Amino acid sequence: MNDKIREIVEEIEAMKVKLGEEIAEQESHISYDIHHGYVEFEKGVLEKQRENMKNLLVWFREVPLVQFLTAPLVYGIVIPAILLDMIIFIYQHVVFRVFKFECLKRSDYIVFDRHYLGYLNPVEKLNCLYCSYVNGVLQYASAVAARTEFYFCPIKHAKRVVYEHDYYQNYLMYGDEDLYHDKLEELREKAQKSTL
């Protein structure tokens, strides 16, 4: 990566940190703490949230029938997600150990905390658990795949890609065979030391 690109990437990373700080500042009025992975709200906050929970009968009346009809398709995705979760877990613990990569923490990607919110009714909490799991599994799989790609094929695509994972900016330019042979081992060492 040349100096100008590296400088732009560093600016982007600094802006991500600044954005995270700004979001945290805007969310600071919501009073909760996390103790040993459990969310604890200040006294009275949960009761206030529960006052704003939508009654199940009202909630069911407001949901269009066509959405209920899609439920088996929506929730059916959980079966391949569970299979993918198991495969990625096994893959990581076999392949990553052979190639001396640090294993990614599955719990960094699959996070269950929305069910603590008092304003969600039981069906909304179930929906949130489902989405947290399925999206978390896909993010976990993407992170494992990104680490694998960084080791085996750290070459940018000729065509622009819509999604670039955290390693992509470190990849080698498409078609630059000299740089590929000169830098491949260096990038592989980075892949073994890096975490997403």
Domain boundaries, the chain: 31-193
Question: How far is Cα 32 from Cα 37, in angstroms, rounded to an integer?
Answer: 12
Q: What would the two tokens of residue 7 be?
A: 């400088």
In the predicted structure, residue 150 carries a pLDDT above the cut 70: yes
pLDDT at 93: 92
Written as one string, the DSSP assignment of 81-112 is HHHHHHHHHHHIIIIIHHTTPPPPPGGGTS--
Which pLDDT tens digit goes with each residue over 44-76? Answer: 777 777 777 788 888 788 888 888 899 899 999
Question: How far is Cα 72 from Cα 136, in angstroms, rounded to an integer?
Answer: 20
How large is the average pLDDT for residues 105-127? 90
Q: What would the two tokens of residue 182 be?
A: 């000169």
Question: How far is Cα 134 from Cα 78, in angstroms, rounded to an integer?
Answer: 7
Q: For the chain, what is the mean pLDDT?
A: 84
> 86 CB contacts (<8 Å, ≥6 apart)?
none
Handedness of CA 173, 177, 183, 187 (dihedral sign): positive
